[in-house]
Amino acid sequence: MQYKSIKKEEWDKVLESLLSSHTIFASVINEFGQDYELIEPVDIPSISYNKPKPATSLKSFFLPIKENVTSERSAEKPRIIIGTPNCDIEGLSLLDEIYLDDVFPDIHYRERRENTLLISADCFGIQEHCHCMTYNIKPYSTINADLAVMNLDGNMIFRIISGKGKEFINNIPSASPVDNKEIISAIDKEHNVTESLLSAANKGLPDYETTGKLVTKARVDIWEKYSVHCVSCGACTTACPTCTCFLLIDKPGFEKVKQMDTCQYPGFERVAGGEDALYELHNRFRNRYMCKYVWKPEKFRSLACTGCGRCIEGCIGKINKNEIFMELAK
Amino acid sequence: MPDNMNIYRPLKAKLTNVIEESPLIKTFVLVPEERFAFKTGQFIELSVDGIGEAPFTPSSSPFITEKLEVTVMKTGYVTEYMHSLKPGVCMGIRGPYGRGYPVETFYDKEVLILGGGCGLAPIRSLLYALEGIKDKLRKVTLCYGSKTPVDCIYKPLFDRLNSIEKFEAYRTVDRADEGWKGSVGVVTILLNKIDININNSVAIVCGPPIMMKFGTIRLLELGYQDNQIYLSMEKNMSCGLGKCGHCMMGEFFVCKDGPVFTYDEIKHNPEIWK
């Protein structure tokens, strides 16, 4: 992989100059926690690099919670998103398969994808529920993003991933190639530390394929037991980087408003005659796991769970899916 | 599809006629602002401006592209609104979507069609398609059941079918009325009356879920193989594009992978009859 480096102060100046022509969102830690913020010049020094992870997943930049998908829209400024962890970058590849398919490509999604430069950030350290490695996802990007950034003692090191990322970084005169072996080994060391933490934290957690088999075989009592604490709020699917189900709402003038929806809501599969395959709470609860670990993998190349752990963090019923899988694996 | 086409935007279509088929079922005749081609068994999303849209399989001939007929049962919010519409209003159409009936694979075979209730709507379109290729088919047999004689739609269709060479049509009702002289019982009882070479046949089942389930079971008992039975599945197809997730049936998006499946393709999924 090719790397380029730039001093943090220089990089901050680059970002400030980019703000005149670009919209920049970046991961920021403040009193409310860590999340993406729309960056103004004053925010640049407080951008958080390499800390996992923003509360909101990357999907919200490409699939807004609610939007009119039939109205005309004017061109938006090019966009840069900084600090995305690799679990979200991997999640985006499933969204690409769904929304950029050959038969029915979604033009709004495509415009946003083409208009966005993705600067992923390698994860240095983990959060409580991070388990990307269990699903063979590294805590750093080497594909799918445009660049990946690391802040090593005031030096911003960029891993060049895509042609778009290469063009961007090559246009920054102060960015110089990295051929210092010490820097490369420092990067490797950070990766090793994070990977060790992930392995230790998720010992015994079944891998993706095994999880699919366990979920398929699971008896109804497991779903009934764990869904007792589910209030069908949909926080898990809202927080998830790969859940993208939606509802089309009609407005006068044959306009359509696309609104995020979830199989966890009652009535999601109800048809006009009243039949509802997901009427019972435990069936809706099971549906999410079947969809992620069994059905989507049969249909798509990309994973439908990237191990970000947000569904666990966001659950007000304190349901931990990994506890279910550990119980099934016993 | 053109690269810059907005997949969510409907094509406008003028409602030119509304035909009352039964107390709960009407056929809407639509003239789209552009010619609209579909394969029989594919479905469309039909919208009432500002109210909502719902999936329907056209009931008209796939050989006609300047107008489209959609037969709708009054059963929910959108369909109730549709039933109040008068000719002259503008409706919206998206599609056609999904996989229809593979009629080319029916050549040299006998086609048995088992229909129930409003399931006759997509079947009528299929019958038009089969009529167009009847020289290449051995035989087409329709067995149709409705709750009562009044609930039977397209009543003139049956006499017309019986007058077409190689076609025959049978009817039954769950509950007879005073004037009814025909068969009484669920649609599968008609299977006892027909003469069909099962080995060289395909069976098509379309109707309410309960009828599809027991129809399929009976066909299997008669000796049909899993891959000889075609089912038209009904789910909440909201976007029609394989994206919104509402019509997922196991690993399938019914809107994109179906709505027509062979029983063989979906039998492993216990949720198909739900």
Which CATH number is B69's domain given?
A: 2.40.30.10
- A189 & A231 share domain: no
Distance CA B203, CA A281 (A): 36
Partner A, chain B 187-226, Cβ-Cβ below 8 Å: 208-209
- Which chain B residues have a beta carbon less than 8 Å from that of A291? 245, 248
Mean pLDDT, range B35-41, rounded to an integer: 97
Is the model's pLDDT at B3 over the cut of 70? no
Task: Give the number of other Cβ atoms within 10 Å of residue A53's Cβ.
Answer: 28
Closest CA relative to residue A159, chosen from A173, A138, A177: A177
- A76 & A102 share domain: yes
8 Å CB contact of A246 and B245: yes
- At residue A46, the pLDDT reads 92
Mean pLDDT, range B216-244, rounded to an integer: 95
Partner A, chain B 52-71, Cβ-Cβ below 8 Å: 52-54
Percent of chain B with pLDDT over 70: 99
Is the model's pLDDT at A230 over the cut of 80? yes
Mean pLDDT, range A85-102, rounded to an integer: 96
Percent of chain A with pLDDT over 90: 93
- At residue B31, the pLDDT reads 98
Residue B16 lies in a domain: yes
User: How many Å from the N-terminal Cα to the C-terminal Cα in chain A?
Assistant: 41
Beta-carbon contacts of A211 under 8 Å, excluding residues fewer than 6 positions away, are: A293, A325
- DSSP bridge partners of A33: A30
Residue B268 lies in a domain: no
Mean pLDDT, range B78-82, rounded to an integer: 95
- Which chain B residues have a beta carbon less than 8 Å from that of A70? 6, 8-9
- B214 & B168 share domain: yes
Mean pLDDT, range A135-142, rounded to an integer: 97
- B117 & B181 share domain: yes
Beta-carbon contacts of A205 under 8 Å, excluding residues fewer than 6 positions away, are: A131, A134, A322, A325, A326, A329
- At residue B2, the pLDDT reads 59
Judge whether A254 is closer than 8 Å to chain B, CB to CB.
yes
- Choosing from A157, A173, A201, the residue where a domain stops is A201
- B136 & B172 share domain: yes
Write down the ipTM of this complex: 0.91
- A139 & A236 share domain: no
- B41 & B111 share domain: no
Distance CA A69, CA A76 (A): 15
8 Å CB contact of A248 and B8: yes
Omega cis (within 30) before B208:
no
Mean pLDDT, range B268-273, rounded to an integer: 79
Which CATH number is B151's domain given?
A: 3.40.50.80
Residue B254 lies in a domain: no
Residue B28 lies in a domain: yes
- At residue A73, the pLDDT reads 83
CA distances from B116 to B55, B152, B249 (A): 18, 9, 22
DSSP-derived secondary structure letter, A75: P
- B195 & B176 share domain: yes
Confidence of residue B1 (pLDDT cuts 50, 70, 90): low
Is the model's pLDDT at B270 over the cut of 80? no
Distance CA B212, CA B118 (A): 12
pLDDT digits (tens, 9 = 90+) for A272-323: 878 888 999 999 999 999 999 999 999 999 999 999 999 999 999 999 999 9
- B77 & B124 share domain: no
Is A172 within 8 Å of A6 (Cβ atoms)?
A: yes
pLDDT digits (tens, 9 = 90+) for A175-186: 999 988 899 999
Percent of chain A with pLDDT over 70: 100
Is the model's pLDDT at B274 over the cut of 80? no
Residue B72 lies in a domain: yes
Residue B256 lies in a domain: no
- At residue B155, the pLDDT reads 86
- B145 & B205 share domain: yes
- A181 & A225 share domain: no
Distance CA B250, CA B272 (A): 9
Percent of chain B with pLDDT over 90: 86
Residue B117 lies in a domain: yes
Containing H/E element for B10?
none
- B78 & B56 share domain: yes
Task: Give the number of other Cβ atoms within 10 Å of residue A229's Cβ.
Answer: 12
Distance CA A51, CA A48 (A): 7
Which two structure tokens, joined as six digits, stand for A319? 């349901």
Domain holding B175, by residue range, is 103-232
- B42 & B107 share domain: no
Is A198 within 8 Å of A133 (Cβ atoms)?
A: yes
Domain count, chain A: 2
Residue B171 lies in a domain: yes
Is the model's pLDDT at A173 over the cut of 70? yes
Domain count, chain B: 2
pLDDT digits (tens, 9 = 90+) for A22-61: 999 999 999 989 999 999 999 999 999 999 999 999 999 9
Is A139 within 8 Å of A127 (Cβ atoms)?
A: no
Is the model's pLDDT at A218 over the cut of 90? yes
Is B217 within 8 Å of B231 (Cβ atoms)?
A: no
Confidence of residue A250 (pLDDT cuts 50, 70, 90): very high
Confidence of residue A236 (pLDDT cuts 50, 70, 90): very high
- B85 & B138 share domain: no
pLDDT digits (tens, 9 = 90+) for A199-213: 999 999 999 999 999
Interface test with A, best of B1, B4, B6 (most A CBs within 10 A): B6
Domain holding A29, by residue range, is 2-201
Omega cis (within 30) before A241:
no
- Which chain A residues have a beta carbon less than 8 Å from that of B48? 250
Q: Which of B8, B49, B256 sits opposite A252 (nearest CB)?
A: B49
